[in-house]
Amino acid sequence: DIQMTQSPSSVSASVGDRVTITCRASQPISSWLAWYQQKPGKAPKLLIYAASTLQSGVPSRFSGSGSGTDFTLTISSLQPEDFATYFCQQVNYFPLTFGGGTKVGIK
Amino acid sequence: QVQLVESGGGVVQPGGSLRLSCAASGFIFSNYVMHWVRQAPGKGLEWVACIRYDGTKEYYADSVKGRFTISRDNSKSTLYLQMNSLRTEDTAVYYCSKDRLATTVTYSENWGQGTLVTVSS
């Protein structure tokens, strides 16, 4: 199975900060990667797919990059509503697998 | 708009069975791959299974293979997950999700609110 390793597992940041989360796949997955945002008690929300394509309705402060094994999610200027947990997911191989998550908290 | 409503969760003893349902509306259900994803309390997301738009092919996580069966009734716009031989480690919120694309397994674009399954004696 493809292992997805996210780092850091948690980060504390302030409103307006630039936040970067990384996701590494144990094997190359081309660009078959998504990023999801999840708030407590809520279902996940698709932010980015195909590594860098912004899902409709998602603010442009979110961006994704990478291909192969190394991927990045960047929030250019953190807003209060962005405090949440973020997960990456590969869909290149079965079984589909998620990273362990990165919790973005308030500094 | 797309709406996915899960039901069927509850408390079950180890070794027991449960069937989850996901009622879909707001899109042409028969055109899309559908998924089940679960989340144990305080843990991350785990993909469980998915099924092609026409129900002809299913895929499973190793942790549920042979115990869980995903199915769909396109005439009722409903997705199912039959869970047998349940274990305590199956305790989780179970989400159904709609794929972004019609015929290829890709990303979960829309999600339901989830239904909690608790396996405990």
* Interchain proximity A98–B61, CB inside 8 Å: no
Q: Which residues pair with residue A35 across a beta bridge?
A: A48, A88
High-pLDDT (> 70) share of chain A, %: 100
pLDDT at B104 over 90: no
pLDDT tens across A45-89, in order? 999 999 999 999 999 999 999 999 999 999 999 999 999 999 999
pLDDT at B103 over 90: no
Q: Which of the four pLDDT bands, split at 50, 70 and 90, describes residue A6?
A: very high
pLDDT for position A106: 87
Whether a cis peptide bond, with omega within 30° of 0, leads into A59 is: no
Question: Could you please report the per-residue DSSP string of B53-86?
Answer: TTSS-EEE-TTTTTTEEEEEETTTTEEEEEE-S-
pLDDT at A107 over 90: no
Interface test with B, best of A4, A91, A102 (most B CBs within 10 A): A91
* Interchain proximity A32–B106, CB inside 8 Å: yes
**Spatial contact of B117 and B13, defined as CB atoms under 8 Å apart:** no
CA distance B15 to chain A (A): 24
CA distance A3 to chain B (A): 12
Q: Which of the four pLDDT bands, split at 50, 70 and 90, describes residue B101?
A: confident
Of B105, B106, B111, the CB nearest to A43: B111
The DSSP letter of residue A81 is G
